[in-house]
Amino acid sequence: MGVRIGVLDLQGDVSEHLLAFREALALAGRDRGSSVVPIRSAGEITGCDGLAVPGGESTTIARMVDRKGMRKPILEFPGGIFATCAGLILLASAVEDDRRFSPLGILDVTVRRNAFGRQRESFEQDLRFQGEDEPFHAVFIRAPVITRTGARVRILARIPRGIVAVAQERHLGVAFHPELSRDRRLHLKFLEGLQV
């Protein structure tokens, strides 16, 4: 059965996520009858089975979500949401030391923005993921870190600075950019969790 994956197209790594999901669907043998589409308006969210909120600049993405009337449709979205980097900040329940930013509260986590420093402190690191034998090569760019998780949140990966990947029900949140890797395991993991 085909699935429809929407990638929030407001700012950030949109084309990279579109490609990554198309490749993941092909690897899973689920590309026939499936689609991966950019989402530019609130009405386009309806009919999607999964939604990706890509990395970019979290304040800009949050402002665009509100300007385009997407906050309520995202909060009411019945499918799974895959949030990466800035998307993780947007989906968090709280953001440390930033009262001006109003996250969506979909993931029961607290995050710290730019936890590793600015753009020049970006780095790459192999991560050990729960349930995976092979490490995942992760790209961190002005990345957040998760400092608190709620009872319903499963921790999937951490580094000495903190938690960098979590799952909650059908939602997946990571502090890095899996779409910049050739490794499609996280996109595949998200698709498996949709149960469509």
Query: Which sequence positions are flagged as catalytic?
Result: 85, 177, 179
Region for residue 142 given its phi and psi (left: phi exceeds 0; alpha: psi -120 to 50; beta: otherwise): left
Question: pTM of the predicted model, to two decimals?
Answer: 0.94
Indicate the number of domains in the chain.
1
CATH code: domain of residue 77: 3.40.50.880
CA pseudo-torsion sign 112, 121, 64, 79: negative
Measuring CA to CA, which residue among 176, 167, 178, 159 is closest to residue 131?
167
CA distance 153 to 173: 10
Q: Which domain holds residue 95?
A: 4-194
Q: What is the DSSP letter of 149?
A: E
Mean pLDDT by 10 residues, the chain (196 residues): 93 92 95 95 95 91 94 96 96 88 94 80 88 92 94 96 95 96 94 80
